[in-house]
Structure 1
């Protein structure tokens, strides 16, 4: 099995973010994986199938990982006080949820696969929580995200404009397109850049006409 480069960058990554506990890896990281999936789907989720692997599969009930995943899909941040009520709130919104576990060996113990079915769109995403609330998306729609260089910052761009990449050159100094996925309504671009993707840069990118979502997939 191919070994992936799943790393944190500093001791501050281990300490973790401000969050609703109990665990930065099993709770905060799970919220962020769910939030990434929800932002990329760009649709109201009608059905969610969650498959936990490794440590997640063993502890997802006790550590609140299941609740955290759903909270992220609802758009909550790791510190949101509504996280404990996420399952109830999701069901009130008409979301049906199925939680599964798998014995399949994965490169990282804290791995989860999410299948989101919306009113129009669908998304399949696999992510890992690598510690301190940090995550890495390893697959999008069954396409492997082989992020082998820690110096590069990967970003998923969802757009209804195939030419939107040209507009990104005004916000990012240098980047290259790793892969693209075309659907009926939009195109998903995975790009990598040496430039640090700050919240300020993200806000500017998200304001570019034609961009529906811009989401870091590692960090």
Structure 2
């Protein structure tokens, strides 16, 4: 343990730099995934047949091992000179995020109390007003739960993405394995875990703050 703590103290600048890279990759991926997944989940509530198809596809994607998905994308993205590095890792994380975000959004909107919808219609709200002022606020806790799941999942998968040159904390794990340096491997694993815990805590706090008081 002393050797590990000494290593962290000695290499703190490098570890911090990798942590920022990891945060950048996961953060951008989650923002893109939300911009795609939440509107898609809302739209799917109007088309149950398409919803089943999209959710099945998303379920299949999330079962593909990350190394295999990276391997598939390398020859495809190589055609535009982006076979390895940040872009394939970003695309993979966005794809892996879709199931929890789409499924939770779809389920949350579907499960909004019909009486609340009827009351909104009764006071003359348009479809868009019902969506933005009634349905989404009531669905927020479950939607945020999906975002939290996707974020923690991506922090873990982001470490594997270092094998294709994306940077981040996975570099420590990869380099440590190559060099037989257990302190590097442990540092990468510990800080990935800490990052996941901190991210989940922050998102849980945000979820609590934005959830309407009436449905807490």
Pair in the same fold by TM > 0.5: no
Q: Which structure carries more helix by proportion?
A: 2
TM (normalized to structure 2)? 0.22
TM (normalized to structure 1)? 0.22
